[in-house]
Copies of this chain bind each other. A is one copy, B any other.
């Protein structure tokens, strides 16, 4: 049996000195691509990643200690994206409540645009990120801190009555997270409206519940 020397069988050109980082990057991208395609962490095997890149499995270990640290890095990268989206959204509004709402919308959009990343980041007890939240500087902590700050701004402006901003932030986070994670988990559920409309409806009623004077709210039809 003679191996054909086409693209499939071709041996990878060895990376020149100092360009090993390139392959490392390629591996991360491939892992991410597979995660999106299969939608399950379990299907992303070291072998599959190597195949996707066009290298052999052992090569992975030149660039990563083990599978866990590889996936860990993929996740941190995506969390950084979420933070970027948060900053864009928050910067786009000046009124504190509107800015808070923009955060909620951005969060939901992020989740529904990257459902597979979202599932891995937020819907699994990731063994490979044991101290995700313990590390003050982690991307996850940064995102939550920004949400708390946004709630505090609403309290400071007098739009919300005084209360623990962290507790309120948790309620808001819970609402949007709950909705998007249900949408991701159960797409075949008979949802009463589009994802977008349900997110807006949820933010409506959540923010109304938080306002000091609900009559102040920017009016939106409900019925």
Contact = CB atoms under 8 A, between A and B. Distances in A.
Contacts of A186: 125, 132-133
Interface of A (DSSP majority class): helix
Interface stretch (A53-61, A69-77, A92-100, A202-210): A202-210
Given A133-B189, A177-B181, A181-B177, A171 B205 contact: yes
Contact of A166 (B178, B192, B210): B192
Interface string A164-202: 101110110111111101101110111111000010011
Contacts of A166: 192
A10 interface: no
Interface in A118-132: 122-125, 130-132
A134 interface: yes
Interface residues on A, range: 35 or more
A16 interface: no
In the A-B complex, the 5 residue pairs with the smallest Cβ-Cβ separation, listed nearest first, are A178-B178, A209-B209, A174-B179, A174-B178, A166-B192
21 contacts: A123-B181, A123-B185, A130-B188, A132-B186, A133-B186, A133-B190, A134-B188, A144-B189, A166-B192, A168-B205, A170-B202, A171-B175, A171-B202, A173-B178, A173-B182, A175-B206, A177-B181, A178-B178, A204-B209, A205-B206, A214-B214
Interface of A: 39, 42, 122-125, 130-134, 144, 161-164, 166-168, 170-171, 173-179, 181-182, 184-186, 188-193, 198, 201-202, 204-210, 214, 222-223
